[in-house]
Structure 1
Amino acid sequence: MIELAVVGVGSWGRNLVRAFTSVEGARVTMACDADPKARERIRRLHPEIAVAETLEQVLDSRHVAAVVVATSTPNHYRVARQALLADRDVFVEKPLCLSSEEAGNLVRLAGERRRLLMVGHLLLFHPAVDRIRQMLAAGEIGRLLYIYSQRVNLGIVRTEENAWWSLAPHDVSLVLDLVGDLPREVSARGASYLTPGLEDVVFANLRFPNDVMAQIHVSWLDPEKRRKFTFVGDRKMIVFDDMEATEKVRVYDKGAGRVPDFASYGEAISIRQGDVYIPRVGSEEPLVVECRHFADCVRERRPPRSDGTAGANVVRVLDAGRRSIAAGGAPVGLEA
């Protein structure tokens, strides 16, 4: 039985407690939060769990094998670092931290201490994403040309981070995972309408070495709630709409290509309109899948899908986007 402690039991931390509680072979034995109201609430919901006020109390417990970090993002680095130094495996909610330097430090420390470091990039464990990953690997849509995504809603407005850092980690992690590479450059523009100095809306473009392009739009100032990805290949196209209750993935057998134009002795563009089909997708909750994956990795001592390196790469892209926003949208390159 793997005993875990969840540090930070606000709304998302409580979700993690619930999900890990449902995982066979794992048990949440401690919860920690500096906020007395959060501690009282977790006591009412889970009276079987010991509640601590400080991280030191958690790390003093020799029974805790792994620490789940669900604090506010600015505290991720400090808490994860202390847990790794105490020789605990660590699961950190996204994003891993707020700078490329800090992310690299955590990855190196995990390697030195021979500890597992996993980042909570939830979409990578979504059954719909598994299906899309299989289709792309099989070449079902042909050569991937470009991706675009929308993650928008009216609220929740954050005050400690902008929409780019709060919302885009989901989209960036998925794009990096499915493209299988880092972009060579990132350009982004954002605007602050509600809180001075914190962008409420961001449009970002990622350009990859294989000529794949991705555009990401995030905002908490939008009339509609959208969680949508479109993948365009040279043979077929895929739409993943996470707001759909059942038909989350649609495959469009349509496209365009050049064909000989005998009248002009040149080429013409031919539009091909085909069928739309909806592949079968599993319905298991992604958060439970993610938590089970972490527990399995701890037990079997194998690298997680969203390991520290993957999480650090997401931070590199986010950091490049931050610098591009500050430079008025100028492209920022990512060094190898």
Structure 2
Amino acid sequence: MQLAVIGCGAWGKNLVRCFAQLGCLGAVVDRQSATVETLLHQYGSRALSFEQVLAEPSIQAVAISTQPSTHYDLAKRALLAGKHLFVEKPLALELKHAEELTDLARRMDRRLMVGHILQYHPAFSRLQSLVASGAVGRILRLHANRMNLGAIRSEEDVLWCLGPHDLSMILTLVRAEPSEVYCIGGYHLRKTIADAVTVHLVFPAGEQAQINLSWLHPVKEHRLTVIGSEAMMVLDDGAPWERKLLLYPHIVNVAGRTTTTIRAEPITVAIEQDEPLKLECQHFVDCIAHGRDPITNGDEGLRVTRVLAEASMRMSPIHGCPASPVRTKAVHPAPKARRQYARRDSL
């Protein structure tokens, strides 16, 4: 199987490296000739235009890592040309476009995979299996912090830039879509792009989740906490590998007006060390080879996009800039009508 990587910037070059290591890099596409020359020198392959890729029968798939505003158009053209498709998050900046791409991939019988990389992180895979086995009891609440200093985008806000990672994990763990969505956005640098966002989700069975996202944070923090009725777990992607996943067997007993808290030492959960991106790329190749749907297929990407759109539509702004922000579809993409989540399908 031969694949072309479309967009070889800061993240795209990592896709080039991984697909080259897997032996399936068929072409690279980028407007920066110097970038292309460097990658060809490192990994071989060939330089093509996007149009040449679409017309090349030896290339069966494309991986798109361009500006989010281009995802829909490039992805649609690739699917119509009969290519299997990997799209970095977000799948699209408008819900109707994500729905159209998912439906098109199904009709064309092409594999569509969204780059929700943390689904392929060995620590999250282990966390997911432990939660499913009942290790934490019933999920009560989830906390996600994804904060750093930059990289500050110019066309999508921090919700659409960072939010897909944590929403993908949370929806997978809870196995439902939220019945209520609340969102607060801070506009400190630009009047039209939120650079700090807090999202609160309430699920049909009573679980709650809070997601804190920011480009204005002095230190890098990527942490997911699962609070259960029997135990708690923390996935800290900034911690050393041997301490990325910890289980806290704390106990909280409530009897009438009396509450008793019993603290326990954290238990280190052993996980096999591997690179999430390489595992993600391998999964895409395997799904094409065996005709299977990816874990993060179009339907999974669509669920995440629905929550992003709902959060955008319900975002209450807090203005750090002196003038009121001007809302635009590119900054806060959302469906034309409010979605009330009448459907409660499990994942």
TM-score normalised over the length of structure 2: 0.90
SS in structure 1 opposite 2:259?
strand
Report the counterpart of residue 50 of structure 1 in structure 2.
46
Cα distance in 1 for residues equivalent to 2:32 and 2:205: 48
Identity %: 36
Cα distance in 1 for residues equivalent to 2:35 and 2:190: 26
Report the counterpart of residue 287 of structure 1 in structure 2.
277
Alignment match of 2:27 (pick from 25, 30, 53): 30
After superposition, the C-alpha distances for 1:192-222 in whole angstroms (9 at most, x for unaligned) are 1112210110010011111110000000101
What letter corresponds to residue 6 of structure 2 in structure 1? V
Q: How far did 1:255 drift?
A: 2.5
Report the counterpart of residue 148 of structure 1 in structure 2.
143
Contact 1:320 1:334 in 2 (8 A): no
Q: How far did 1:38 drift?
A: 3.1
Cα distance in 2 for residues equivalent to 1:70 and 1:156: 16
Report the counterpart of residue 315 of structure 2 in structure 1.
325
Alignment match of 1:300 (pick from 264, 280, 290): 290
Alignment match of 2:175 (pick from 180, 183, 194): 180
After superposition, the C-alpha distances for 1:270-306 in whole angstroms (9 at most, x for unaligned) are 2122232101011100001100000000000011100
- Superposed, which structure 2 residues align to 1:22-171 within 5 Å? 22-23=21-22, 26-46=23-43, 48-52=44-48, 54-171=49-166
Cα distance in 1 for residues equivalent to 2:223 and 2:279: 21
Report the counterpart of residue 262 of structure 1 in structure 2.
none
Report the counterpart of residue 322 of structure 2 in structure 1.
none
Q: How far did 1:22 drift?
A: 1.9
Report the counterpart of residue 19 of structure 1 in structure 2.
18
| Deviates most, 209-218 or 272-281 | 272-281
Q: How far did 1:55 drift?
A: 1.4
Unmatched 5+ residue regions in structure 1?
A: 260-265
Contact 1:185 1:332 in 2 (8 A): no
Contact 1:67 1:91 in 2 (8 A): yes
- Superposed, which structure 2 residues align to 1:160-239 within 5 Å? 160-239=155-234
Contact 1:169 1:314 in 2 (8 A): yes
SS in structure 2 opposite 1:230?
strand
SS in structure 2 opposite 1:50?
coil
Question: Does residue 1:252 correspond to 2:252, yes or no?
Answer: no
Contact 2:183 2:311 in 1 (8 A): yes
Contact 1:30 1:51 in 2 (8 A): yes
What letter corresponds to residue 14 of structure 1 in structure 2? K
Q: How far did 1:334 drift?
A: 3.0
Question: Does residue 1:334 correspond to 2:334, yes or no?
Answer: no
TM-score normalised over the length of structure 1: 0.93
Cα distance in 1 for residues equivalent to 2:220 and 2:264: 29
Unmatched 5+ residue regions in structure 2?
A: 319-337
RMSD: 1.6
